[in-house]
Structures are given as C-alpha cells and as structure tokens.
C-alpha cells in the first residue's frame, strides 16, 4: 500500500493542526510522545530490616572476598578486605536495576557506572553516587538497614 498526499490524506502534523494543536501545545504532543519512551527500571525501595543467613547455600558467594548476592533490590557484597557492604540495585545514571559488585567496587552493567564501597561515583556515569546501607553481623546473620 502506498500513500500519496491528496485532499483526503494528510500527514500527522496537519492532522494535529486540524485538531486545534498549535505552538506550545503541538510541541507538548511531540515531546510527550518522546518522553513516553523512557525505559528506566522501577527504583528499588530502601531495605527496612533485610536479613541474610550466611550459612545458607544460596548465599555462598558472600564467603569469598569480592563475592555478592542480590536480594530484595539490594546488592550485598563482601569487599576485597572482607567487610560486608550493601547498596541499592538501582543505578543513579539511568535508573537501571543492574548494579553488581566487582572485586572492590559497585558496577552497573548497563553503561559502566562505577561506585566505590561508600557509594561515591568513580566515573562520569556514576557521578551522582548510589545509596549504600548499614550492615550488621550477628553470628551468621547479616542485617541490612537503610
């Protein structure tokens, strides 16, 4: 099927004009359509009282320095010095829930944002930093709180 312009066939701009859109309202229609294409993930909520049993097989990664798990929107890691640390799964760059942990820093797999163990950004993508949480170890139970 091909389209040719004739009296019964108008383009989108002309159609919107006929509906009464003009100037700023026409711009809002175009920009509004663009903004709807935003693909940010849902921001993960801060933990209130998240617990991790370090003896559970699913948490074995936390027995090794540089290992990490993801639970309830939180990245829980064992740093290169053996400290337990935690941060949000949501990156401050474009809101993707793709934060991981690599050896001694948090890393977003979407575009490469890097954050140190305190959440401070280490490159331009990570310049806004990420939220880190308090960890408390009692026996084999690690508790994470905002």
Binding residues (CB under 6 A) for ligand FES: these are: 91, 93-94, 96, 98, 108, 110-113, 125
- Name the residue among 124, 117, 83 with its Cα closest to residue 101: 117
SS3 18: helix
Nearer to ligand FES, 29 or 41 (CB): 41
Q: Minimal distance in Å, beta carbon 78 to ligand FES?
A: 22
CB burial of 104-118 (b: ≥16 within 10 Å; e: otherwise) equals ebbbbeeeebbbebe
CB of 11 to ligand FES, least distance (A): 36
Closer CB to ligand FES, residue 62 or residue 87? 87
Name which of 78 and 96 has its Cβ closer to ligand FES.
Answer: 96
What is the smallest separation between the CB atom of 2 and ligand FES, expressed in angstroms? 41
CA atoms within 13 A on the CB side of 76: 30
Question: Which CB atom, from 94 or from 116, has the smaller least distance to ligand FES?
Answer: 94
Output the DSSP codes for 26-48: HHHHHHHHHHTT--PPPPPPPPS
Shortest distance (Å) from residue 103 CB to ligand FES = 18
Distance CA 23, CA 131 (A): 41
């Amino acid at each position: 099927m091909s389209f040719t312009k004739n009296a019964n066939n108008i383009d989108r701009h002309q159609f919107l004009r006929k509906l009464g859109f003009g100037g700023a309202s026409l711009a809002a229609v175009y920009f509004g359509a663009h903004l709807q294409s935003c693909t940010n993930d849902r921001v993960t909520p801060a933990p209130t009282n998240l617990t991790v049993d370090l003896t559970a097989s699913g948490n074995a990664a936390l027995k090794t320095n540089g290992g990490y798990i993801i639970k309830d929107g939180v990245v829980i890691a064992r740093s290169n010095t053996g400290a337990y640390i935690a941060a949000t799964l949501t990156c401050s760059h474009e809101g993707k829930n793709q934060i991981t942990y690599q050896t001694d820093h948090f890393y977003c797999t979407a575009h490469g944002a890097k954050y140190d163990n305190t959440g401070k950004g280490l490159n331009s993508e990570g310049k806004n930093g990420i939220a880190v949480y308090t960890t408390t170890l009692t026996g084999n139970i690690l508790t994470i709180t905002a």
